[in-house]
Structures are given as structure tokens and as C-alpha cells.
Amino acid sequence: MNIPLIPDLTNPKWLIKQEILNSIDSNRARKIASRLKIPDVQLFIDCMKILILAETFELDYSYVVSEIRENEKLKKFMGINILLEIYICAKWLPL
């Protein structure tokens, strides 16, 4: 059974996650991704956010994507504006 992903900023794990997600979503990270000639930088950044969250809590990527789609608070915490499908992120995630 998977745990529900509810952002709790009193938990140190979520505070660390927030700092990591902010650095992934920074202008510097976007410039680096552009220099690497990544075609869709925003999609790449969103996939990296999913990867970080899934690996931290040792969850499946598909479960994390479904939680983001269902949980508005988690979507806002992650800073993801589009609805992702796991097959879209498949080329960026080590499946």
C-alpha cells in the first residue's frame, strides 16, 4: 500500500524537498537545460520533480503522477501546471 503524498512543511523531509524543487525550477537550471539542447525544458523540469519526489519516498513514478493529478495541494507544492501522463515522462525517467 502506498502512502498518500500530503505536503507537510513541519516535516523536515518536505522542507528539504521544497528546497530541492526550488533549485530544480530556478532560472539557472532552465539555462543549463537549454544549453544541453533539451527540446521541452518545462516538461524536463516537471519530470525531474517527479523523479525526486518518487525516489525520496521510494514510490513508483506512476503512483506519484496519479497523486499529483488528484491532489491539488501537492500539485501547487510541486509547481506543476500541466497534467502529466507517465508515458510522457518515460524518456526522462529511468523506468
From first to last of its 95 residues, what are the pLDDT tens digits of the chain? 677 788 888 888 888 888 998 898 899 989 998 899 888 888 888 888 888 888 888 888 888 888 888 888 888 888 887 766 666 666 666 65
Count of domains in the chain?
1
Q: Residue 1: inside a domain, yes or no? A: no
Q: Residue 4: inside a domain, yes or no? A: no
Q: Residue 78: inside a domain, yes or no? A: yes
For residues 12 and 10, give the distance between their C-alpha atoms in angstroms, rounded to a whole number: 6
Q: Residue 30: inside a domain, yes or no? A: yes
Q: Residue 24: inside a domain, yes or no? A: yes
CA dihedral angle for residue 70, residue 76, residue 78, residue 83, rounded to 10 degrees = 50
Range of the domain at 61: 12-89
Q: Residue 77: inside a domain, yes or no? A: yes
For residues 67 and 73, give the distance between their C-alpha atoms in angstroms, rounded to a whole number: 10
For residues 65 and 69, give the distance between their C-alpha atoms in angstroms, rounded to a whole number: 6
Q: Residue 95: inside a domain, yes or no? A: no
Q: Residue 61: inside a domain, yes or no? A: yes
